[in-house]
A and B are shown apart, each in its own frame.
Chain A
Amino acid sequence: MSESIVRALKCRECGQEYAIEPTHVCEFCFGPLEVVYDYDKLQGKFTRELIESRPQTMWRYKELLPIDGEPTVGVQNGFTPLVRAKNLEKVLGVKELYIKNDSVCYPTLSFKDRVVSVALSKAVEFGFKTVACASTGNLAGSVAANAAAAGLESYVFIPHDLEQGKVLGAGIFGTKIIGIKGKYDDVNRLCSEVAGKYGWAFVNVNVRPFYAEGSKSLGYEMMEQLGWRAPKHVVVPMASGSLCTKVDKSIKEFIKLGLIEDNGTAVYGAQATGCSPISKSVKDGTDLIHPVHADTIAKSLAIGNPADGYYANRVIKESGGWAEDVSDQEVVDAMKLLAETEGIFAETAGGVTLGCAMKMIESGRLPRDESIVLCITGNGLKTQEAIIDAIAKPRIIDANLKEFDALAEADGVATTDK
């Protein structure tokens, strides 16, 4: 592999640069640190042919992910399907619609496997033996699984009232799982204090600058799978707002490296109305994010104080996108629609993304005749509580053909009997 092009960590607020180490806030202004690169070193070397020659994992873009050498954790992760959503196109009355389907991301069925493989590979480089996270569920499962496979100890901190699927989906991996009496924002606050005290790699605290970069791989794949082009519009669910900014960064990097043409891609953010500080700021035309007390079934997006909200707001405005929010009922309806039209069972956040896209198509914010990608980031099997009452129950009969015949007749189903 060619020499790493990672240059430094840089404060997004004041521009102060720092060496590559496990740290995440600027000592001068508390601004978040971001990995910056010397893209010039890749000019002419990082080509479509090189990328296509590599295995179908997120690591085929490893030059643009902030690790030294080869990944050590999550080597198989990423490269999820991009699905052309023909049935949904008809229902929504749009011409070209795709689903980037991270509900089947390896190994824990959410896009968090991308960020975690970068964070843990980096943690191993730094020499950490224990990894940890504050999580709304998906991250906990991903940290636990990837840590188990890498032989690392893990602690995961979650709100105490998470969906069972997410609690089980972390606990099975033998992680030390801590439920905090409070909302995600309380978990987050505690973790930032724990991270200062224990010598662990907290994936979304002290190794967050590296962790967050993993999200870019979703964007890279989307562009390669579209035939080396960016969509005109991409809709992203927002909790902290990080994914929104990283999808935008991935597109800008591919343009800079000459891998795609600039398609003027607009980025759109989706939130649940019960926790919509970022979409509210976009709609209100301000860049001030007012924290809220989150209350929504879309628990993976329930971050009332979004750390990247300001930057997500800026990306949305500068790219010409928009933001929207939907009620819990609209989330459930959209989850069902996606499942019934495309055979994709997304978690509640996926219902938020599709629900907001539908609203923006109706309002004209999303044009009907241009390419749109919806980012689906997690799997519905983990959030069953949200829809359990909205789904038809099985009709119970005896193992008796006559009983089934009666049922089929009621359904109006014809038999092949002459």
Chain B
Amino acid sequence: MSVNVRIPTPLRKLTGGADEVVVEAVTVNEMIDNLEAAHPGLKARLCDDAGEIRRFVNVYLNDEDVRFLNGRSTVLKDGDEVSIVPAIAGGC
């Protein structure tokens, strides 16, 4: 499966400045591993030592937070859009 991943500004140093990259993956987990293979250092930014997605990282699959889907096991399909977004604040 080929998915488009949107890369947030703080991580673009690792993708040679690219704001979007294409990776092959069947699950979010595999997507992160394959991102790491193509752009070493990315996984450590996204995941903690246990491999869990960091508290301040949000991963959206076609506009839905993967925490509402199956987390890292969420299944991807061809042409999916994935966004990596740092948590930001508003309201009180």
Contact status of A136 and B90, CB under 8 A, knowing A193-B8, A305-B65: yes
| A243 within 8 A of partner (CB) | yes
A16 to chain B, nearest CB (A): 12
| A217 within 8 A of partner (CB) | no
Contact status of A30 and B92, CB under 8 A, knowing A196-B9, A291-B68, A305-B87: no
Chain A residue numbers with a CB within 8 Å of B89 are: 32, 204, 208, 212, 240-242, 303, 306-308
Instruction: Verify A184–B91 contact, CB threshold 8 A.
Output: yes
Instruction: Verify A24–B88 contact, CB threshold 8 A.
Output: yes
| B58 within 8 A of partner (CB) | yes
A251 to chain B, nearest CB (A): 17
Instruction: Verify B65–A30 contact, CB threshold 8 A.
Output: no
Cα–Cα distance between A244 and B92 once the two chains are bound (Å): 8
Q: In the complex, which residues 226-251 of chain A have their Cβ closer than 8 Å to any Cβ of chain B?
A: 236-244
Q: In the complex, which residues 109-148 of chain A have their Cβ closer than 8 Å to any Cβ of chain B?
A: 111, 133-136, 139
A114 to chain B, nearest CB (A): 11
Count of chain B residues with a beta carbon within 8 Å of a chain A beta carbon? 27
Which of A111, A189, A193 is the one whose CB lies under 8 Å from B92?
A111
Q: Which residue of B lies closest to A23 (CB)?
A: B10
Instruction: Verify B92–A238 contact, CB threshold 8 A.
Output: yes
Instruction: Verify A237–B67 contact, CB threshold 8 A.
Output: no
Instruction: Verify B92–A243 contact, CB threshold 8 A.
Output: yes
Chain B residue numbers with a CB within 8 Å of A195 are: 9
| B19 within 8 A of partner (CB) | yes
Cα–Cα distance between A349 and B90 once the two chains are bound (Å): 14
Contact status of A349 and B92, CB under 8 A, knowing A192-B8, A291-B67: yes
Instruction: Verify B58–A240 contact, CB threshold 8 A.
Output: no
Cα–Cα distance between A282 and B73 once the two chains are bound (Å): 28
| A188 within 8 A of partner (CB) | yes
Contact status of A204 and B92, CB under 8 A, knowing A25-B56, A28-B45: no
| A256 within 8 A of partner (CB) | no
Instruction: Verify A204–B45 contact, CB threshold 8 A.
Output: no
Contact status of A240 and B91, CB under 8 A, knowing A189-B83, A192-B85: yes
Report B's interface with A, CB cutoff 8 A: 6, 8-10, 13, 19, 45-46, 54-58, 60, 63, 65, 67-68, 83, 85-92
Report A's interface with B, CB cutoff 8 A: 13, 23-32, 111, 133-136, 139, 182, 184-186, 188-189, 191-193, 195-197, 204-205, 208, 212, 236-244, 289-291, 293, 300-303, 305-308, 310, 349, 377
Q: List 22 A-B contacts (CB under 8 A).
A: A25-B56, A26-B10, A30-B57, A32-B87, A135-B90, A136-B90, A189-B58, A189-B60, A189-B63, A193-B8, A196-B19, A204-B88, A205-B88, A208-B88, A212-B89, A238-B92, A242-B89, A289-B55, A301-B92, A303-B90, A303-B91, A305-B58
